[in-house]
Chain A
Amino acid sequence: MYRAFRKMHKRKNHAAEEPRLADQKDKPPKNKRDLLKQVERQYVEDLRNVKIDRELDVNQKMLEGMFKDSSDFVIRAFEVEKGPHALVIFVDGLIDTAELNAALKVLMVNEGGLRDLDALTRMSLPVSQITEVDNYADLVKSVLSGDSGILIDGEERAVLLGLRGAKGRSVQEPETESVVRGPREGYVENIRTNTAMLRRKMKTPHLKMRSMTIGRESNTDIVVAYHEGLSDPVTLQEVIGRLEKIDIDAVLDSGYLEEMIQDNTYSPFPQVQYTERPDTTAAALLEGRFAIFADGSPFALVVPTTFWQLMQANEDYYERFQMATMIRWLRYLFVVVALTTPALYIAITTYHQAMIPTTLLLSLAAARESIPFPAVVEAFIMEIAFEALREAGVRLPKTVGQAVSILGALVIGQAAVEAGIVSAPMVIIVSVTGIASFTIPRYNAAIAVRMLRFPLMILASLFGMYGILLGMMLILGHLANLRSFGVPYLSPIGPLSTGDLKDVLIRAPWWAMGDRPAFLELQDKHRIGEELHVEIAAHGGQTGEKVKHGADRDKGGEKG
C-alpha cells in the first residue's frame, strides 16, 4: 500500500519538474547597457542569464552599481604583471586576507605574459580551490559566500578563489544532545565544517552531498547528504523535489526547511528529526536516510523520521545493550506518564474516587481539604506555571537563570502549598510530569507531548477516564495516519515489521543487528557480517582461540 503511494509520488514529481526547467530557459539577456538598471532590484538567482562581459569596465560598473553603499564589499582593480587589467572582488571579513595577498602577489609580481585565463588557473595561482564562472549569479553568490572573485579584462569568465576565512564558532560539545559516552563534537554554523565532520565519519565515495541554494535573499547553501548505495533513489528525488519547491526570502535556520518539507504541517508531532551530532547523522545515513544541512544552522535535518527514532538517543548504541534496553523502556513508560499524569489525576480525583486505595484517598482528601479550586483548575494553574518557568529558564541569561529556579521552587512549590492555593499532590504530579517530559531524548518530540497534555486534561475534566481514552485513541489514530516522506510514522510497530523490533522494543547487541531496518526502502539490507554473529551467538561472546579460559588456563595454555 505504501509502496504504491511512493510510486504515485514519483510520477507526480517528474511531472512537476519538467515545466520548471523549461521556465528558466526563456527571457534571453537584453541590451547590456540597460542591464545595470534592471539588475539592481533583482534577486541573485535571477542574474543567471546575465553573463560576465568581455570588457572589464562594464563588469566593474555593474558590480559597483550593484554593491553601491556596501562598505564591506571590496572591489579592487589591479594589473597582472605585463598583462591585462583585472579586478579582485571580495567581502571583507569573509576571506582570509593573508591568503588572498599571497595569491595576488603571484599575479601582480611574479607572472608575466600570461594572457590566457586557463593558463592562469592551471599554472600560476597557488590556490587549491579555483572555480570558473561565466555568469553573475554564480559570481555574486560565491563572493557573498566568502570566495574571492578575479575578473580579467578580455575574459568572459571569472575565477573564484576559495580563500574563505570567516570567523565562526569552533567545534564544541553539542548542548542539546549531550552524552556520557560517545563523541563530543557537534555541528557549528559553518556548513563546510559540518559536512567535513560527517565525511570524517564516513570515508567512502558512497557518501554523496548534493548542494543547492535556497532563499532569494539569504542564498543559503543547502546540502543533502545520503549514502548512494543504500538510500532509495525515489525518496532522494522526493527530498530534493520538496526542497526545490521552497521559495522563500531567507533560510535562517534549518527549522524553516523542516516546516516546509514535512508531510503533515498541522501535526504536533515532528516528522523530521534534527541533530547536532555527526555520529547521529552518519548512523541515519547508514540506515538509508537523508540528512539536510543548511548553512548557518548547527542542526542537520534527518528524514524520513519515525516516532520510535525520536525515542532513541545516540548513547543507546554506545553503552551496554542491557542498560540501553532498560532505558528505552523507561522512556516509553515516561512518555505515557508525561502525557497522561495530570489528566489521570483529574479524572480519578473527580470521577473515579472509588479507584483510589482508601488510605490514599483519605490523605488526598486531607491535602485537598482547604484548596479553593477544582482539581482541573488547580492542575491548569500548576502546569501553566511550570511551562512558564521552563520557558523563562531557557530564554534567560544563565546568570539570571538561578533566580528563576529559586522563585519556582520556593514560591510556587512551597509557598503555594503552604498558603493552601494548590495541594501538595498536585505539585508532585506536575514535578513527575516535568521530569517525565525531560526523559524524552528529542526536544521536539517532548514538545508534542507537552502540548497534548492540555487537551487531555480538558477531556479528563469533562469525561473522566473515558475522555482520556477517547483522547488517546485520537492521538494514536493520528500517529498511525502520519507519514514522514512516505514512511508510516509508527513503523516498525505499525505496520508491524517484526525483524525491526530489535531496535525498538529492545536495543539488540550490535552483533545481533544483522539487518538494516526493513520498513525503509533500502538497496542493501545487510549490515553485520554473518560469521561473527554466529560465533558470538554460539559461545556467548568471543571466547577466542589464542587464550584459554578458566581451568584450561592453568593446564598451560599458550599464554598460561
Chain B
Amino acid sequence: MRQRLTALMLLPVLMSALVLTGCWDRIEVNDIAIVTTTSFDLEEDGRYRVAVQVPLPGQLGGSSGGGGGTSGTKPFYVDSEKGDTIREAVQHLQSRMSRRLFFSHRRVMVIGEELAKSGMREVFDVTSRLPENRLTANVLIAKGKGIDLLKAQPQFEMYSGEAMREILESYAVFNPSQKDIAHALSQIGADPILPLIEPATSTGGEKRKEVHLSGYAQFRDDKMIGTITPAQAEGVAWLRKEFRPYEKTLNMGKGKLVVRLYQGESKVTPEIKPDHVHFNVEIEAEATVIEAVEVEDLGRSDMIEKVERELSQAVAQAVLESAELVKERNSDIATLGINLSRLKPRVWNERLKWNWHEGELGKTTFAVKANCQVTRLGQITENIARKETVTD
C-alpha cells in the first residue's frame, strides 16, 4: 500500500520528464531537404544572396526502392534567393520548397568574393546561432560568385560541395573550419586565411565544370585584402607552425629537382628588441626526391648535401617572402601576435597588443634558419634509362 502511494507520488515527476523536453520536432527523412553546401554572396544592391545545394535522394541511385526521376538530370538542386539579411533570404527560399531546409549536414560554406571583401563577420552570426549547425564546417572563399561553385558538376562526386570538401581535406595547406575562423576573427594577433576556390572547366573530352583550388584569400580582420599563391601559403604555414606535406621544385644548375617535404617542424621564437619585435624561425624538415631532370648522380653524398643546401635555402627564402607579405599587407595570417601573446604575454598585453596592426606588425624582422635533409631518393638513385658514358 505504501509502495503504491510512493509510486503514485512519483508519477507526476515521471510524467513531467515527458513534457519538459522542449523541442517536439519529429520529422521524416522524406520531408527534409538536406543542405550540403551554402553560398553567401553580396549583390550589387547591397542585399545578401543565399544559395543552397540540396542533393536529390531520388536521383542519387541508392536502393531499387527509389523510383521516379529521369536519368540525365543532375542529382542535386541549386536555388538562391535574395534578402536584407541571410535569414530573410533563407525564408524566401524556403517558401518555394516543399521540404524543410535542413542545415545540420552543411559541411561546406562558400563565401563569395564580394562579400568577403566587404566583410564576412555577419555570416558567422546566423550560421552558429541556430542549433542546426556544424562549427566544423569548412569555410572557403569563391573567386567570383559563390553560387557558381555550387552549380559546378564535378566528375567524381555527386555534388560540388563534397568535391570541395574532399579537395580541402586532402590538399589545402589551410583548411579552417567555422570555429577556427571565429577564433581568428575574435582575437587580436591573428587574421584568417581561407582557401580560395574557383570554377574551372576540365580539358578532357567531355567538358565538365569542376572546382579548382587556386590559392588562398588573405584577410585583415573580416575583410579580404588579397590572394596568395599556394607557394606563398607554404611559407605562411611554417610561420604558423603548421606543417602539411608539400612539393617543391629546385633549380640545380641546368637541371631541375622536385622534392617532397614529408615531415617538418618549425620553431618561431620572438625576441623583443628596443623598437621592434624580431622573430627567429628554425625549421627542421625531411624530404624525398620525386623527380630529377638532368641532375647529376644522386648516389653521391656531396650531391645530396648540395641538394640539401639548396632546399634549405629555398625554404628559408619562401618563409622570408611570406613574412614580407604579412608585413606589407598588415594582415597577421601567420598568427605572429598569438605567438607573442603566448611566449611574451606581459610585453604583448602592455605594449604590443593594441598597436599590433598600427605599425608594430610592419616593423617586425625575421631571421630564418632552415635545416632540410633528403632522407630518401625514391626507388632509384639515377634515371634507369640513362645512357652509359665514358666515365662509367
Is B a genuine binding partner of A?
yes
* Cβ 8 A contact of B107, one of A350, A358, A365, A375: A358
Query: Taking the nearest CB of chain B, how far is it from the CB of A346, in angstroms?
Result: 10
A366 engages B64 (CB within 8 Å): no
* Cβ 8 A contact of B60, one of A351, A362, A417: A362
B34 engages A424 (CB within 8 Å): no
* Cβ 8 A contact of A361, one of B61, B68, B105: B105
A368 engages B67 (CB within 8 Å): no
Contacts of A362 in B (CB 8 A): 34, 55, 57, 60, 62, 158
Contacts of B107 in A (CB 8 A): 358
Q: Decide if A219 is an interface residue (CB 8 Å cutoff).
A: no
Q: Quick one: given A349-B28, A371-B30, A375-B28, are A354 and B65 in contact (CB under 8 Å)? A: no
Complex Cα–Cα for A420 and B64 (A): 8
A368: nearest residue on chain B (CB-CB)?
B29
Q: Decide if A461 is an interface residue (CB 8 Å cutoff).
A: yes
Complex Cα–Cα for A464 and B26 (A): 8
What is the 8 Å Cβ interface bit string for chain A, positions 399-420, against chain B (1 contact, 0 not)? 0000000000000000001101
Supply 30 A–B pairs (Cβ within 8 Å), ascending by A.
A353-B32, A353-B102, A353-B105, A354-B104, A354-B105, A358-B36, A358-B105, A361-B29, A361-B34, A361-B105, A362-B34, A362-B62, A363-B60, A365-B60, A365-B62, A366-B57, A366-B62, A366-B63, A367-B66, A368-B29, A368-B30, A368-B57, A368-B65, A369-B30, A369-B57, A369-B65, A369-B67, A418-B64, A418-B65, A423-B63
B34 engages A365 (CB within 8 Å): yes
A474: nearest residue on chain B (CB-CB)?
B14
Contacts of B25 in A (CB 8 A): 351
Q: Quick one: given A354-B132, A370-B68, A371-B65, are A365 and B30 in contact (CB under 8 Å)? A: yes
Contacts of B105 in A (CB 8 A): 353-354, 358, 361
Contacts of A364 in B (CB 8 A): 29
B61: nearest residue on chain A (CB-CB)?
A366
Complex Cα–Cα for A374 and B26 (A): 10
Contacts of A329 in B (CB 8 A): none
Q: Decide if A318 is an interface residue (CB 8 Å cutoff).
A: no
Complex Cα–Cα for A351 and B23 (A): 10
- Cβ < 8 Å to B, chain A residues 417-433: 417-418, 420, 423-424
Give the one of A358, A363, A371, A375 with max B CB within 10 A. Answer: A358
* 9 additional A-B residue pairs with CB within 8 Å, beyond A358-B107, A361-B29, A369-B66: A350-B26, A365-B34, A366-B66, A367-B62, A367-B65, A368-B28, A369-B65, A417-B63, A463-B21
- In terms of DSSP, what is the predominant structure of the interface of chain B? loop
Contacts of A367 in B (CB 8 A): 62-63, 65-66
What is the 8 Å Cβ interface bit string for chain A, positions 460-475, against chain B (1 contact, 0 not)? 0101101000100000
A463 engages B18 (CB within 8 Å): yes
**5 shortest interchain CB distances as A-B pairs:** A366-B62, A354-B104, A365-B57, A366-B57, A367-B63
A366: nearest residue on chain B (CB-CB)?
B62
What is the 8 Å Cβ interface bit string for chain A, positions 137-179, against chain B (1 contact, 0 not)? 0000000000000000000000000000000000000000000
Complex Cα–Cα for A466 and B23 (A): 11
Q: Quick one: given A350-B27, A358-B36, A375-B29, are A366 and B104 in contact (CB under 8 Å)? A: no
Complex Cα–Cα for A176 and B68 (A): 48
Query: Taking the nearest CB of chain A, how far is it from the CB of B281, in angstroms?
Result: 39
B60: nearest residue on chain A (CB-CB)?
A366
What is the 8 Å Cβ interface bit string for chain B, positions 98-137, against chain A (1 contact, 0 not)? 0000101101000000000000000000000000100000
A370 engages B29 (CB within 8 Å): no
Complex Cα–Cα for A424 and B64 (A): 9
Query: Contact residue range for chain A?
Result: 20 to 34
Complex Cα–Cα for A463 and B25 (A): 9
Q: Decide if B58 is an interface residue (CB 8 Å cutoff).
A: yes
Contacts of B102 in A (CB 8 A): 353
Mark A residues whose CB is within 8 Å of B. 349-351, 353-354, 358, 361-371, 374-375, 417-418, 420, 423-424, 461, 463-464, 466, 470
Query: Taking the nearest CB of chain B, how far is it from the CB of A165, in angstroms?
Result: 54
Complex Cα–Cα for A420 and B67 (A): 8
- Cβ < 8 Å to A, chain B residues 37-70: 55, 57-58, 60-68
B18 engages A370 (CB within 8 Å): no
A370 engages B67 (CB within 8 Å): yes
A366 engages B58 (CB within 8 Å): yes
* Cβ 8 A contact of B29, one of A353, A417, A420, A463: A353
Complex Cα–Cα for A417 and B67 (A): 11
Complex Cα–Cα for A371 and B68 (A): 12
A353 engages B104 (CB within 8 Å): yes
Query: Taking the nearest CB of chain A, how far is it from the CB of B2, in angstroms?
Result: 15
Complex Cα–Cα for A367 and B29 (A): 10
Q: Decide if B17 is an interface residue (CB 8 Å cutoff).
A: yes
B68 engages A374 (CB within 8 Å): no
Q: Quick one: given A353-B102, A358-B105, are A370 and B66 in contact (CB under 8 Å)? A: yes
Complex Cα–Cα for A423 and B28 (A): 13
Complex Cα–Cα for A403 and B17 (A): 47
Contacts of B63 in A (CB 8 A): 363, 366-367, 417, 423-424
Complex Cα–Cα for A463 and B18 (A): 8
Give the one of B18, B107, B158 with max A CB within 10 A. Answer: B18
Query: Taking the nearest CB of chain B, how far is it from the CB of A430, in angstroms?
Result: 15
Query: Taking the nearest CB of chain B, how far is it from the CB of A181, in angstroms?
Result: 42
B29 engages A365 (CB within 8 Å): yes
Complex Cα–Cα for A371 and B62 (A): 13
B62 engages A363 (CB within 8 Å): yes
Query: Taking the nearest CB of chain A, how far is it from the CB of B3, in angstroms?
Result: 10
Complex Cα–Cα for A423 and B29 (A): 12
Complex Cα–Cα for A371 and B64 (A): 12
Give the one of B60, B65, B105 with max A CB within 10 A. Answer: B65
Complex Cα–Cα for A411 and B217 (A): 58
Complex Cα–Cα for A353 and B102 (A): 9
B17 engages A470 (CB within 8 Å): yes
B131: nearest residue on chain A (CB-CB)?
A354
Contacts of A417 in B (CB 8 A): 63-65
